[in-house]
Structure 1
């Protein structure tokens, strides 16, 4: 009997008489194994796949459309904050999303977030001021990613289970940290009082969040038991690093296409497809490979090798690089991403309790998007420093994200000089990415 109770774990301990859940407890009631016929399962998976499609479409379309958005809205001075506000918003809500879906249910949260995303996108489409409404779209876009137990009970009990101090501190802390990280060195100097004060306030809020989660929260937004195993720590670190390099791709590949190769936003979006398709197909293939091998590690290692090879090929990119060469490198890199990122998610779930899976998924997405914010901040600082140091006197000192819309205002000879210096900055970013992938 003791052995059975130990195997049942915290979910069983939270149950009352006759297996009913005790009031205000998180209980895993999502054991649907064998309950769905094949046709219904196809419909469910198709609906979830559609939410992911909408989410990633919204995510990837922002970077490719930045120059066109800036032109239409006359937002050249604030264009860099479009992507920044989007990333800060969806990153800030990642931690709380998993716990909210535990309390209120997957389907309820998913439907609400899809409505939020639709409203946010409509507002962006009709907006005259792009940054505030991009924040709303950013909040929704990553919330629609399905989380992977749901509590039972009355709505009053569910509301009491929300970790309000933890959610407030995590939201505020992440926002105060990501604003200077994203804007430091570009919009603001790193030594400016605004950047320093925001970093200090953000650090204090994050420390307070950790204390609340460790000592006071009954249902913590980020349970510290998730970090008990060394393997879980390594896997979480992987997600942070993968976010650094993945989001750099999403934002700087379109700029490479538009600034260096002089492609349109539509063509830039099409040229990212080799990366996305390789990632998608390899993610599916990686799942079958893990099921056949019974192990994640060989698949993850193969993914890292291909990821590094594809990123290494990026070092050769230049103004005269053929589309076939670019597509080949991106396919290899996309396959590597698919074989490493998704199996890491599977490994994370297998290293955590069943009742923690939604929180783990949210934490994984949070770390990946925080990594993306850090990576974009580093990449922007590198490119802008290269531009400041190597652009000839008399040429405009525009931020990297503004170059594609300002090049058309320059004479042909000056345009060539700017493109050459910008390519130099991109090579610094690509070299660093390849080294990070190999590490």
Structure 2
């Protein structure tokens, strides 16, 4: 079972004790494996050979195998076959890195992850102030956060496929450069549209670590031709998943705020968004040569459960990061900086359990206990948020956040490791990007849905606001601008503010109830993740277009084996069914025969007990009649 993530162009693998595909019994796979190895040698997995030349070879021919040092290996000579893996192993093993170099590389990767997380969460405490500065609508308020999350979600699968074709390092550097430029645009924004443009351009990669990655990240970079690489990208898949996601989220954003839910605009965005996503999966299944999201990743129940847990964790976590600061700034009257301080119990507790969960997995090789612990405590913690008061109650504020943070922390890496354990090594990068896509799309949807729930609840309570507040203030708070009106709330007199605090608290309660229900679904999904024991085995995996071609050929061979095994099982079941039918027929005949014998025997016994007596008339026979 592979574990941890892909990094530095290779993945640190946590391999299972038994590496039999799909956990099928070893004895069942030996004949097929031997046939596959024979075909692989015959088909010539030659370095630099294309797919057409490979498929043209006859399975019965003896073709020399080329090992990485360029020497030919004759499959007919066992000694050559035994020597080939050793030569390949020597070729694939990277030179040892010094401790300082490893520390610098890990530092750069940690900076990348930190900046990606920072750009996701740091905006939360500043959103009310940004909204006030640019006087944005409630729709733009939600998009300050979700614009970054949406663009990140839409781009992750594409970047993952880019790295498979052109290598990790150049793609990481390119994305890093884009991040720097976009961050500069966002920092120098003079209006909300410019800020949103900068946030949309940003992608989840590091900023400061550019130089360290450039000079110290020494991994093999494939020399893929740019034209051939661009042709290999699944552009239909990229466009359909990006377009479908954007349309669906726009429909959620506009519904009930910019347009009525029953309006043609909202309905069309939602319907065509879902239809476009369906087209994306159809393309990945039937048409894509090198799919962005291979359908085979969704064939495992455990993989689906991991993605569901990831999706729900992303939704619930980002809700706490976005709407707790809103609660602090509107209901408790905290400034943006002070609301960040109020968030410390949540942040510190999740940081602690995130580290503790990683250590636990490393020491024990078990990822399920942290996942179960996290999902249960996350559901409990967000359930407690429903009871957050409309006044300061530090015991509840701190305790509730600590419990929620204890649950959120372990789920960051646990489901990812679980997902990586159930995929082939060649699918590690794709599975990791799929995991990132799932998390980012979940956070994007969560921010929008949470905003819609809050907006609609505030609008529903406008009559209550009008009974206490001036007409203009009540209109502002109840017409879709409540989240961006923290300064207006803080300026109200105490009597009016208490009413507003109750209204805000009630609206936020509906958000917490929604996320508790979502978290409970995540708890149930976590129990569907299958268990495997991790081991510490390092594997080097090469990227590049040629490797993608080899992977595609290997997948075809595996699919052929699976179809053959499925057909064999079908024939076996059919034969067994025919045998069972014949046996049933024989048993039925035997039962019928026994039944007839029993009936005959019963008839004879009845005749013996009750003999037939003939009565002759007086006078006897014909003479008597006369």
TM-score, normalised by the number of residues in structure 2? 0.63
Change (3 A) 1:386 1:200: closer
1:350 match: 421
Counterparts of 1:182 and 1:284, CA distance in 2: 35
1:258 match: 329
Counterparts of 1:188 and 1:33, CA distance in 2: 58
Counterparts of 2:264 and 2:487, CA distance in 1: 30
1:62 match: 123
Q: CA deviation at 1:414?
A: 2.9
Gapped regions of structure 1 (runs ≥ 5): 21-29
The answer to whether 1:49 aligns with 2:110 is yes
Counterparts of 1:308 and 1:352, CA distance in 2: 29
2:550 match: none
The answer to whether 1:364 aligns with 2:435 is yes
Q: CA deviation at 1:15?
A: 4.8
**Number of residue pairs aligned between Structure 1 and Structure 2:** 425
User: Secondary structure in 1 aligned to 2:484?
Assistant: helix
Counterparts of 1:151 and 1:346, CA distance in 2: 27
The answer to whether 1:303 aligns with 2:374 is yes
Flag as ranges the 4+ runs of structure 1 deviating above 4 A.
1-6, 12-17, 30-34, 143-146, 149-152, 408-412
The answer to whether 1:430 aligns with 2:512 is yes
2:99 match: 38
Q: CA deviation at 1:217?
A: 1.1
Counterparts of 2:67 and 2:334, CA distance in 1: 62
2:213 match: none
Per mean C-alpha deviation after superposition, the further-off stretch among 219-228 and 329-338 is 329-338
Change (3 A) 1:128 1:277: same
Matches within 5 A, 1:18-417: 18-19=66-67, 35-76=96-137, 78-144=140-206, 152-323=223-394, 325-391=396-462, 392=464, 393=466, 394=471, 395-396=474-475, 397-399=478-480, 400-408=482-490, 410-417=492-499
Per mean C-alpha deviation after superposition, the further-off stretch among 125-134 and 340-349 is 125-134
1:25 match: none
Q: CA deviation at 1:387?
A: 1.7
More helix by share: 1
2:560 match: none
Change (3 A) 1:379 1:258: same
Counterparts of 1:105 and 1:324, CA distance in 2: 51
User: Secondary structure in 1 aligned to 2:390?
Assistant: coil
User: Secondary structure in 2 aligned to 1:366?
Assistant: helix
Change (3 A) 1:370 1:407: same
Change (3 A) 1:156 1:285: same
Counterparts of 1:139 and 1:357, CA distance in 2: 26
Deviations 1:363-391 (A, max 9, x none): 11221222223323332232223222233
Deviations 1:105-126 (A, max 9, x none): 2222222222222222221121
Deviations 1:305-364 (A, max 9, x none): 322232233222123343454233323322322222311110011111212122212211
Counterparts of 1:33 and 1:240, CA distance in 2: 36
Per mean C-alpha deviation after superposition, the further-off stretch among 290-299 and 275-284 is 275-284
Gapped regions of structure 2 (runs ≥ 5): 1-29, 49-64, 69-90, 210-219, 522-626
Change (3 A) 1:14 1:54: farther
Q: State whether residues 186 and 380 of structure 1, in contact with CA within 8 Å, keep that contact through their aligned partners in structure 2.
A: no
TM-score, normalised by the number of residues in structure 1? 0.87
User: Secondary structure in 2 aligned to 1:261?
Assistant: coil
Q: Which has the larger radius of gyration?
A: 2
Deviations 1:213-267 (A, max 9, x none): 1111111111101112110011111111112211211211110110111111111
Deviations 1:29-67 (A, max 9, x none): x97778333322111111111111111111112221112
Q: State whether residues 98 and 360 of structure 1, in contact with CA within 8 Å, keep that contact through their aligned partners in structure 2.
A: no
